[in-house]
Amino acid sequence: MSQPLSDDANSSTPRDPAPSSTSTLKAIIHHSRLNNTNLNFSTSVEGPISITQLFIRRSRLSTTIEALPPSPPLLSQHGTGYDLTNSVFSPDGRNFQVEYAVKAVENGGTAIGIRCKDGVVLALEKLVTSKLLKPNANKRISTIDRNMGVVSSGLLPDARHFVSRSREEAASWRQMYKAPIPVSALADRMGQYTQAYTLFSSVRPFGVTSIIAGWDSEAEVGVDGQVGSGPSIGAGGKQDIKKKGGPYLYMIEPSGMYWAYYGAATGKGRQSAKSELEKLDLAAGELSLEQGIKEAARIIYVAHEDSKDKEFELEMCWVSSLAGPTKGRFEEVPKDLREEAEKLAKKAIEGDDDEDEEKMET
């Protein structure tokens, strides 16, 4: 059998001892690319190569391994194979597939969440990809149960699957406990679910970072289907305990990592959105829901500044306390409120521009 490779003259460094046939094949291909030459298998088969043929050829190659000349060391981590499969650790302990999923998220429209004193706001920069799309249709913020919502950026179908699973989790919690799922429990379950998609090579990680917002009811919620109030005194009589309830905001990343946040941002404009969120001093818990709406609209507009040439649509949903405007339910922000917030946002941005111009002039 003839020598299968023709280029070997430039190689001088010694090879690793006893490489496997697979890595050898890759190394050969890599090597030949580096040297800008063609692999020239001297076989009699013409046309496209089937898998079986490849195996045969590889086994033939492996018989000639001993005869192969040394090849140069591999330069970068890419091409070493650690990024080709989900659930595989690289030598420095990373899962590259998850990091690539994060790249998909970073291409998506900006999504933010703001936890206010008396509720939570979710907002999304929905990029308009075609003039043929109907305005205010194709909603991207979804309701979970009645008191929670999810917004995500990244791959839309992945987001839909995430939402669908969240709804199943909320429904199964009700089935089991006859009560609504607490936001923290939903975040935990969805975190677990997302993380499971980093454990197997047969699946790919989620291409979305999702923000979950909700309000746990501050009122005593009866058991689903409950009739009557039970004994008013004595054994089984209820004590009047004030439930805490309140606003919650979580963000879940493709790795399955999640934290609770005062303000969360993801997608293309996350950097500028985050720095705007930090200015709000949300930890003080002073920002009202109405104010939160306005800030959310402004932040989406600020985050959009970098890709100004593209059209976008603002989508906003909110949830408040029982005493608040949504009565503990997760809903779309009413049109007039949203438009007012948008008007203020545009004004704020133009104001910034004016200031900049003034500075330029002076």
Partner 1 sequence: MDCHPEVWGRPRYEIYGDYDHSHLHTSGPMQHTQQPIVTGTSVIAVKFKDGVVIAADNLASYGSLARFTDVKRLRKFNSQSVIGFGGDVSDMQYLDRTLGSLDTNENYSNSDQPLHARNLHTYLSKVMYARRSKFDPLWNAILVAGLDGEDMPFLASVDLLGTKFSSPTLATGFGAHLAVPILRRTVPDEEAVQQTTKDQAVELVKESMKVLFYRDARSLDNYSIAVITKESGVELKENEKLENQSWAFADQIRGYGTQVN
Of 146 and 165, nearer to partner 1 (C-beta) is 146
The Cα 34–Cα 280 span in angstroms is 52
From 200, 294, 202, 282, select the one nearest 249 (Cα to Cα): 282
Of 13 and 229, nearer to partner 1 (C-beta) is 229
The Cα 194–Cα 191 span in angstroms is 5
- What kind and span of H or E run contains 167? helix 156-177
HSE at residue 78, side-chain half, CA atoms within 13 A, is 2
CB of 121 to partner 1, least distance (A): 19
Q: Which two tokens stand for residue 231?
A: 């004994």
- What kind and span of H or E run contains 347? helix 335-361
CB of 275 to partner 1, least distance (A): 33
Question: What's the chain's Rg over C-alpha atoms?
Answer: 28
CB of 164 to partner 1, least distance (A): 9
Of 48 and 225, nearer to partner 1 (C-beta) is 225
Of 75 and 233, nearer to partner 1 (C-beta) is 233
CB of 335 to partner 1, least distance (A): 12
Q: At what angle do helices 270-279 and 289-304 cross, to 10 degrees?
A: 140
- What kind and span of H or E run contains 295? helix 289-304
CB of 136 to partner 1, least distance (A): 11
The Cα 73–Cα 71 span in angstroms is 7
Sheet with 258-260, side-by-side order of all strands:
142-144, 148-154, 208-216, 246-252, 258-260
CB of 233 to partner 1, least distance (A): 13
The number of helices, as runs of H, and strands, as runs of E, in the chain is 8, 10
The Cα 253–Cα 96 span in angstroms is 14
Look up tokens 């391994």; give the residue. Answer: 65
- What kind and span of H or E run contains 317? strand 312-320
User: Which residues are at the interface with partner 1 (CB under 8 A)?
Assistant: 139, 142-143, 145-146, 167, 171, 174, 178, 224-229
Of 127 and 179, nearer to partner 1 (C-beta) is 179
CB of 174 to partner 1, least distance (A): 7
Among positive and negative, which fits the CA dihedral 352, 355, 361, 362?
Answer: negative
For 84, residues 6+ apart whose C-beta sits below 8 A from its C-beta are none
Of 58 and 167, nearer to partner 1 (C-beta) is 167
CB of 280 to partner 1, least distance (A): 30
CB of 142 to partner 1, least distance (A): 7
Burial (Cβ within 10 Å: 0-12, 13-18, ≥19) of residue 201: exposed
Of 122 and 303, nearer to partner 1 (C-beta) is 122
